[in-house]
Amino acid sequence: MKTLTINLTAGEYLPFYIKGNYFHLLETAASVDVDFLRNGGVVSEARGMEFGFFSKPKDGFDSLGFQSATTQVVKIAVGFGDGGYNRTTGSVQIIGQADTMAQTAPVVTNASGLLLAANASRRLLTVQNNDTVGNVFLNLAGAAATVAGGLKIAPGGSLILDTHLPASAIYAIGDIAINTKVVVIES
């Protein structure tokens, strides 16, 4: 497969002599007309194509013809066999929702206590145990936490929930007397 850059002048028809059976239009600023030629005759044509267009004309081509209403530089890939290109140009904008985060540092003791109140609007929950020796055990179902039945967060570990979140109160208990190194983030 070859990748080529072609300068097109507005309104001008530009023949381009290259053999292949696979064509991919990789970059354009505006639409382009493409003729697939074999032995001097058009075997297939594509009008108003933009980047991302690809074609495999039956029995291939021995030259291409390009025309554009605007002066532009286009980039193409030509080859034999199957090919592919997953490259895009331009910019991507990710649109999301800005959330207000609440960050707390609750003390977890060796007795079950409320870590977070019930919150039916909860969209994110992160609990991090920054202690070096103490484990933290959570109950996400609104009941008292126990060492034997809680969800364990080991020293240095964390829990991140961002899809299926508990709306109920969350309780915590530790296996050391006082753990002051727990961080909770909620939105």
109 and 179 belong to one structural domain: yes
Residue 87 lies in a domain: no
64 and 109 belong to one structural domain: no
Residue 94 lies in a domain: no
Q: Which of 64, 79, 94 is the last residue of a domain?
A: 79
pLDDT at 82: 72
Is the pTM here over 0.75, yes or no? no
Contact 75, 17 (CB under 8 A): no
CA-based torsion, 3, 9, 11, 13: positive or negative = negative
62 and 130 belong to one structural domain: no
DSSP state of 20: B
CATH assignment at residue 63: 2.60.120.380
Placement of tokens 């990789």 in the chain: 26
Give the integer Cα–Cα distance in Å for 137 and 63.
70
Placement of tokens 């609104």 in the chain: 142
Residue 155: φ, ψ to 5°: -55, 130
pLDDT at 11: 94
Residue 97 lies in a domain: no
Give the integer Cα–Cα distance in Å for 10 and 69.
5
70 and 114 belong to one structural domain: no
Contact 73, 9 (CB under 8 A): no
CATH assignment at residue 119: 2.60.120.770
Give the integer Cα–Cα distance in Å for 76 and 20.
12
pLDDT at 38: 95
- Looking at the structure of the chain, the number of domains it has is 2
Residue 89 lies in a domain: no
74 and 137 belong to one structural domain: no
18 and 61 belong to one structural domain: yes
Per-10-residue mean pLDDT, the chain, length 187: 91 93 92 95 94 90 95 92 64 70 95 96 94 96 96 94 93 97 95
Range(s) of the domain holding residue 142: 102-186
